[in-house]
Structure 1
Amino acid sequence: MSRLRRLLGPVALASVVAGSLAVPGAVASAAPAAPAVACDTTSTPYSYVVLYQPGLPQFFVNAELKAKCGTKVAYYPEIGVAVASSRNADFAQRIGVDRAYSGGKDVASQAAKVSSRSAVRQVEATQSVAEDEDLSAQQWDMRAIHAPEANKVNPGSRSVTVGVLDSGIDATHPALAKAVDARASVGCVTGAPDRTPASWAPTNSDHGTHVAGTIAGKDTARGFTGIAPGVRLASVKVVDDGGFIFPEAAVCGFVWAAQHGFRVTNNSYFIDPGMFYCSREPGDSAAYEAVRRAVVYSTHRGVLNVAAAGNSGFDVTKQTTDPIRPHPVDSSCGILPKAIDGVVTVSSVGYAGTKSSFSNFGAVSVTAPGGDYTQVPPAGQGQGCTLSTTVFGGRYGTKCGTSMASPHVAGVAALLASRHPFASPRLLTALLEGQADPVACDVTECSGPARDNSYYGHGLVNALDAVR
């Protein structure tokens, strides 16, 4: 059987999904009794993801949560995941630690241990703000992947929606006003979808706006153009005002993408509060499974999910400890959502085309420009970090990070989805990888052939090949 035929062949979706969504432990089929002890009504409430058997009626979910001192925030019966709120410190124990987890509660109880997360993400702070000159010459990242040539052939189709799961998109920015689809945008910070414009707009971070500009920005007056300016963008806000992305927000975002016809999502984050979640650890296992189900569900509904590799500069396949929430890491652990099967993982290169000093590596699908402070372009070609849109009064700025590399791949994937409207996520992934320009290892730390190595995966994505 040919490779193309294997990729396009039918899939027994119902049996695959049903078989992949098993619940740890049995869930009672009858409504639980009321709690024997009065519930806490004064302590700080925390949100939890809670696992159920997919398809379980909401009545049973509501009854169990109430009986165990919780309140339903949202329930996704398709994947058997609920989001609950509880003031009780022992809520997870009441439900079962293999079925319930709260990232917010972990942050509150381990603040000192998770404080280093800010240093990991600080690399992606805005480095410089562009002045009012023409910006096209500063977009070296677009030239590196042949995006300007691709735009002349096909700027992308309005029938393709890319979900930006991030801190929100500034829809008033002149480069993004025509791209953002308010009807497809949503706030998911609480774990429940909120369609009000304020819920998906940025508040204190320009991260999502920067990502969005790379994918589909277009500002003729300033000479700025993203990779696929013809596609639609959906702002799916999953980052809270503290900068955290908890499991319930990610679950909400992936389910929303699945149910609203998105072809691609960009995920330039790792799920908090730590970096690695371990599928065999109590608590962690519930969060891992909840996110896994949401990602698998979205993939089976036709969504290609693209994620950043991370900015810690290590080989993710060889880590033995979590640098943010210290605990042992083994083969059962992974950085979410990139550790989930079917997610395209992206490393970063700088202007010289070599791995960015901060980029994680190992288990990489492809690479793309994310900038590097030490790989400085010639005068007149911009900064070492990549240029895109910011919320500073509709202006432009530079950022470095695998978060900046990932939207380059999401943009090329959007062009592929425009060119191949019926392609499955699996086929889009094969096209991304097959059309990438090989990048050979240049240091001993990198291992593997030019077509599939630990630094660059299958190579540097190519926007022009995506539209031809």
Structure 2
Amino acid sequence: MVGVAVAATMLGWAGQAAAVPLEPGVINCGEHGPDVRFVVLFEPWTPAVDATAETSSKCGTTVAYHPQIGVGVVLSSDRRFPNLMGRDRVFSAKAAVGKSKRLSEPPAVSDRSRTDRTAEQSDMAMIRADQAHAVTLGSDSVVVGVLDSGIDATHPELSAAVDPARSAGCLTGKADPAPAAWRPTTSAHGTHVAGVIAAADDGHGVTGVAPGVRLASVKVVDDAGFVFPEAVVCGLMWAAANQFAVANHSYFVDPWLQTCDRDGERVVAESVRRAVDYATRRGVLSVAAASNENIDLARPRGQAVGANGERRTLDASCKVLPAGLRGVVAVSAVGPDQLKTGYSAYGLGVIDVTAPGGAGDECVLSTVPGGYGRLCGTSMAAPHVTGVVALLAGRHPGASPQSLTRRLTTQAVAVACPGDYDLDDAGGQDAYCSGYAPYNSFYGHGLVDALAAVTS
């Protein structure tokens, strides 16, 4: 995953809005501060002219609008804007995180040469991707969207796979196809994920799960490391418009690790849910990382720190987005020993499949700008699954997301709950696995199988 939970500061919209009285009749808009970007909910299929007119009359400027799902992105410098539109319809994730940052050190570039390093890719052997390549490398008619921090399209392992015409930056909430908008800037994460999916099978460096497919770089992770809902909505709508077969989501949507379907959080939950549902209906299967907090996604409970430092009580409506949404393939991570890693989230009825995410000193080797590097996380597990889905899509052209999911889960190799999950030898259990061998909270339907995907 890109993100980890952080305590952040609010810019003061909630407290200041009440201090500015609402005038009857025509609203005199004022610049009370810097422009703030909001996600705004409308009824689906509200005409663009009506949505734009409403936001303009209430002191907002429309940046992007998706009438198919009734979600807009609006800028406003007027502190009254949330009250004018209705606080049950608007939310600013950017304002919620304030000036917080979530940047981590990039992976060390372990090798700038192009020597063959496939012998170091035990993760590919675990899911039998190396054997699958003897059958097929995947189809170049399959386009995989990497919704992430951008892909280095100059990397020799990825240059042939990246399709610039289908790539876009979504950080403002409006798709920008200019190469500068979708290339990586501060983060190697997206390039690493892309290599797991489709690094070239050329006898040099590493090889991805489906090296014959095409990649689209869709940038949704900003330079501070955040993934805001307007960027995710933009990315999913772009995926639908450009007929991606599968979209990889190795992140959670900010500003919370688990977003609840209540109060102001509902705007975030509803906007992303609408976008996922629309993309799915248009033939895009979403694969998402489960997150790295070793939490039970099926039983959200207790308290968590909110976006502005307050304590939030979790309930059954709280989900990691987009992994917790219906129709999304949620992926947990196993280490080299095929045991759920200590960081991976889990949950009966939430986790669909598992894949290698690396652990300890044995992280996943893949491409990074300038060479190769290692990263661990469910962020690395998800693209293994995305690669297998891409192989399936090539073998079964026109298959629906539901059909691809059924094939993926049916072909997965069942992994039973461990008899003991005491990772630190402290005498206790570090998590509890529920279910039975063919389907359980740690591994879902089991470990994905690339060879089965191309032979069954």
TM-score, length-scaled by structure 1: 0.85
- Superposition pairs for residues 216-235 of structure 1, below 5 Å? 216-218=198-200, 220-235=202-217
1:426 is displaced (CA, Å) by 0.5
Task: State the distance in 2 between where 1:310 and 1:407 align.
Answer: 13
Q: Which amino acid in 1 is paired with 2:215? A: L
Give the aligned partner of residue 269 of structure 2.
288
1:213 is matched by which residue type in structure 2?
Answer: G
**Structure 1: 5+ residue stretches without partners:** 1-32, 374-382
Return the alpha-carbon distance in structure 2 between the equivalents of residues 194 and 306 of structure 1.
23
> What's 1:74 paired with?
64
Give the helix-richer structure, 1 or 2.
1
Match of 1:300 among 239, 259, 281: 281
The one-letter code sitting in structure 2 at the alignment partner of 1:460 is L
SS of aligned partner of 2:399: coil
Write out the 4+ residue segments of structure 1 that deviate beyond 6 Å after TM superposition: none
**Counterpart mapping for 1:167-246 below 5 A:** 167-218=149-200, 220-246=202-228
Q: Deviations over 1:210-246 (max 9, x none)?
A: 0000000115252421000010000000011111110
Corresponding residue for residue 388 of structure 1: 366
CA contact under 8 A between 1:34 and 1:67: conserved in structure 2? no
Aligned-residue Cα RMSD (Å) equals 1.8
| Distance apart, 1:318 and its partner CA | 2.4
Once the two structures are superposed, residues 413-443 of structure 1 have per-residue CA deviations (whole angstroms, 9 ceiling, x without a partner) of: 0000001112110111111111001111113
Aligned residues: 415
Residues 312-355 of structure 1, C-alpha deviations (whole Å, 9 max, x = no match): 01112223233564411111111111121100000000111101
* Corresponding residue for residue 411 of structure 1: 387
CA contact (8 A) 2:32 2:79 kept: no
Q: After the TM superposition, which residues 17-96 of structure 1 pair with which residues of structure 2 at under 5 Å, given as runs?
A: 36-41=26-31, 43-96=33-86
CA distance in 1, matches of 2:154, 2:314: 43
Q: Which residue of 2 aligns with 1:17?
A: none
Give the one of 375, 385, 400 matched to 1:424: 400
Change (3 A) 1:99 1:324: closer
Deviations 1:265-320 (A, max 9, x none): 0000000111111112x221111111111000000001100000000011122232
Structure 2 CA distance, aligned partners of 1:403 and 1:264?
16
Q: Whole-Å Cα distance in 1 between the matches of residues 282 and 132 of structure 2?
A: 28
How many angstroms apart in 1 are the aligned matches of 2:164 and 2:436?
A: 44
CA deviations on 1:35-92 (whole Å, 9 max, x unpaired) are: 7443232512111111111221111111111111110000101111111011122322
Post-superposition CA distance 1:13-40 (Å, at most 9, x none): xxxxxxxxxxxxxxxxxxxx99744323
Q: Give 1:312's aligned residue.
A: 293
TM-score when scaled to structure 2?
0.88
1:450 CA drift (Å): 1.2
- Conserved? CA contact 1:34–1:66, under 8 Å: no
What do the CA deviations read for 1:248-273 (whole angstroms, capped 9, x no partner)?
00000001111111000000000011
Q: How much identity, in percent, do the aligned residues show?
A: 51
Deviation at 1:194, TM superposition (A): 0.3
Q: Structure 2 CA distance, aligned partners of 1:40 and 1:266?
A: 41
CA contact (8 A) 1:174 1:219 kept: no
Q: Distance in 2 between matches of 1:417 and 1:221?
A: 25
What code does the residue aligned with 2:220 have?
Answer: V
Q: Does 1:361 align with 2:320?
A: no
Residues in 1 aligned to 2:132 and 2:185: alpha-carbon distance in whole angstroms: 33
